[in-house]
Structure 1
Amino acid sequence: MKQLTAKEVEILLLEGKPLNLIDVREVDEVETGKIPGAIHIPLGLLEFRMHELSKAKEYIMVCRSGARSARASQFLESHGFNVINMSGGMLAWEGETK
């Protein structure tokens, strides 16, 4: 599984790179703030909403600590998606949130 640190993701965003971020945390967790532009799909709904995603795009998966996003990454990879896990999750995120 490919991984990027929270800092690496932040640098890519600051450089203006167009990233496809998917936040798999629960609703109450996302209410405390998420990375601007991230799509919120709770882990439990990912199976039912993966039709909204494109296999032609690369997605960076985000959660609180990196564990749920790793599970989400493995799940999507098994269905042919190109994904990267953001290790450390939002606990390691120092960038902007909305």
Structure 2
Amino acid sequence: RANQDLISYEELKALLGKSQNLFLVDVRNQGEVDAGRIPGSIHIPVDTVEAAFKMEPEEFKAKYGVTKPPPDTPELVFHCHMGRRGGIATDKANKLGYINACNYAGGYKQWSEKEGK
């Protein structure tokens, strides 16, 4: 990818279609998520991302219901509504050693427009 930290709608759509490894994190607030979400996403609000990715795997699984991805996981994508919070979350994950973390900058706004929701 041209910008390692950003992923496009097309790239995300392709990953959602084929990848077993994609870990998609929705960092918006609960009200936003309740109004609509990208299928398969895990809800971890932006202000809890750092704490979540510092958790022990057992604790993470108990809280979020999914297996915590390893730091070198190839496909860790964060998104919010317009891109800013997703970028903040991506930076936090990078600092914690998640070297491949990236931000779907189009966010749910672009996703819902493209998907015709």
TM-score, scaled relative to structure 1: 0.85
Of 82, 91, 98, which residue of structure 1 is paired with 2:109? 91
Question: Which of the pair has the greater relative contact order for Cα pairs under 8 Å at 6+ separation?
Answer: 1
Which structure has more helix as a fraction of its residues? 2
- Coordinate RMSD, CA, aligned: 1.8
Structure 2: runs of 5 or more not aligned: 61-67
1:26-41 → structure 2 map (5 Å cutoff)? 26-41=29-44
Tell me, yes or no, if the aligned pair for 1:35 and 1:96 is still in contact at 8 Å: no
Distance in structure 2 (CA, Å) of the matches to 1:75 and 1:96:
31
Which amino acid in the other structure matches residue 17 of structure 1?
A: S
Structure 1 residue 30, shift from structure 2 partner = 0.3
Structure 1 residue 71, shift from structure 2 partner = 0.6
Structure 1 residue runs of 4+, over 3 Å off?
Answer: none
Q: Alignment identity in percent? A: 31
Of 55, 59, 79, which residue of structure 1 is paired with 2:71? 55
Tell me, yes or no, if the aligned pair for 1:5 and 1:88 is still in contact at 8 Å: yes
- How many equivalent pairs are there? 96
Which structure has more strand as a fraction of its residues? 1
Distance in structure 2 (CA, Å) of the matches to 1:96 and 1:10:
14
TM-score, scaled relative to structure 2: 0.73
Which amino acid in the other structure matches residue 79 of structure 2?
A: V
Larger gyration radius, structure 1 or structure 2: 2
Distance in structure 2 (CA, Å) of the matches to 1:10 and 1:55:
23
Structure 1 residue 60, shift from structure 2 partner = 0.4
Whether 1:24 aligns to 2:40 is no
